[in-house]
Amino acid sequence: MKPALLLILALALSACGQTPEDQLLDYQQRVARVLDEDIPAVGTRARIERIAVTHFALPLPQHRINLLELLSLNDCRIGQAVAQKNSTLGKLAAASQKLVQELAILRDGADCVAQLQPQDAELAGQLNSALQEKYAARMRYWWNAWLSADEWQHFIATAAQPLQWPAADAPKPAHISLTLNALDYAIHQGENIAAGRFAPPRGMEPQLQQLMLGETLGRWLASEYLLTRTLNQTAAIIENRLARKVLCPTGEETPDASILHNVFVKYYAGQVQPYISRTDQLGNALRERLDRLKNLLKEEPPQAFQQWRHQVGQQQQAFVRANKRHVTAWQKVLRQCGLMPGADADERRE
C-alpha cells in the first residue's frame, strides 16, 4: 500500500502546485491539439514599467522654528509634535509618521495660537500663518503617507506573481479582502482630513503592512498581462484553423468538434473563465478605489503617478480586447458546428 499511497500523494501535490501559467498553457495546448495548430507567437504590450513611488510624492510647505521659538511652544500641546518634526529622526521619518505629526499640529494648533497671543504676538502670527499653509496642504500630507510609502511600492510591484488559480469552491485569498479594506481605510481617512477632522490615525501602520504583504495590485496586473497573452494566442489558434480548414463542413458535429466542445466546457468555462472573472472583478474593485484616492486629492497628482495610471488603463484595455477576441473566436467555431451554447437547433445550422 505504501508505494500506492506515495503515488497518490505525489499526484495530489503536483496538482496543487500548478501555477496559472501551467493551467493556461494546458488549456492552450488542448485547443491546439484538437485543431491541429501550433501555438502562435502574438505581439503583446510591454509590461508596466517599474516607477519608484518616491516620484508619486507631492511637495510640502517648509517651516523652520528655531530653538528659542520652540521653547516658547513648550506649554502648547503641539510642542512635542513640532520638536519631533524638527529633530534629526523626525526629518528622516516615513511619510506615515510625518502625517501623524502634521495632524497633531493641525488638531491643536489653533489652541496654541490663542495661548501664545498674549505672550508673543509675533510668534503667534507666524504659527497661525504656518497652520494656514499646512491646512491648505493637508491632503498632500495624506497622499504622500500612502502613495509615496515603501508599502505602496510593494503593493504595485511589477515583479509580483499572478493571482492564485482558484480551486473549486475555494474562498477568495485573504490578501484580497485585506487589501481592499486597507484602501477603504485610506479613503475614509482622506475624507476625514479633507473635512478638517484630524483624529490620530490609529491603525494606519497595520493597514500599510497589508498593502505591502499582499502585493495585490501587482498580482492583479501580472494576471491580467498573462491572460491577455493567453487569450490572444488561443483566439489566433482558432482563427488560423478556421482560415485553413472548416471544422464542420456540413454544419453537423464531428468527432473533433465534440472533443473541442468538451475542452470549451471543461477547461474554458470550468477553469479559465472563473480565473478571468476573479481577475476582472478584482481589477474593477482596485481601479474604483484608485480613482477615489485620486479624486480626494483635489488637484493634479504628480506626473509620474499619472503616467503609471495611464499604463494601467492601457493594459486593462488590451485585456478587454483580448477577451472579446477570444469569445468571438469560440462563438464562431461552435456556431459553425451547431454547438453554440444557448442557440436553438435551427439557429446553429444557419
Q: Which residues, 6 or more positions from 154, have their beta carbon under 8 angstroms from its beta carbon?
A: 211, 212, 213, 215, 218
- Mean pLDDT score, 332-336: 95
| Maximum C-alpha span of the chain | 98
Summarised one tens digit per residue, pLDDT across range 189-210 is 999 999 999 999 989 999 999 9
Rounded Cα–Cα distance for residues 237 and 39 (Å): 6
- Provide the whole-model pTM: 0.86
CA within 13 Å, CB half, 292: 16
Report pLDDT for 126: 84
248 versus 348: the higher-pLDDT residue is 248
Report pLDDT for 349: 38
pLDDT at 57 over 70: yes
Confidence of residue 122 (pLDDT cuts 50, 70, 90): confident
The single-letter code of the amino acid at 299 is: E
Positive or negative CA dihedral for 223, 182, 191, 60? negative
Give the closest residue to 103 by CA, choosing from 76, 126, 130, 81: 81
Residues 166 and 220 sit within 8 Å (Cβ to Cβ): no
Rounded Cα–Cα distance for residues 100 and 145 (Å): 9
Rounded Cα–Cα distance for residues 39 and 42 (Å): 9
Residues 186 and 293 sit within 8 Å (Cβ to Cβ): yes
pLDDT at 90 over 70: no
Summarised one tens digit per residue, pLDDT across range 12-35 is 444 445 899 999 999 999 999 999
Residues 337 and 248 sit within 8 Å (Cβ to Cβ): yes
Helix extents (H) in the chain: 2-16, 20-35, 67-72, 79-86, 88-91, 95-116, 121-136, 138-147, 150-155, 174-194, 204-214, 216-244, 255-263, 273-297, 303-336, 345-348
Domain regions of the chain by residue span = 19-53+150-348, 61-136
Mean pLDDT over the full length of the chain: 87
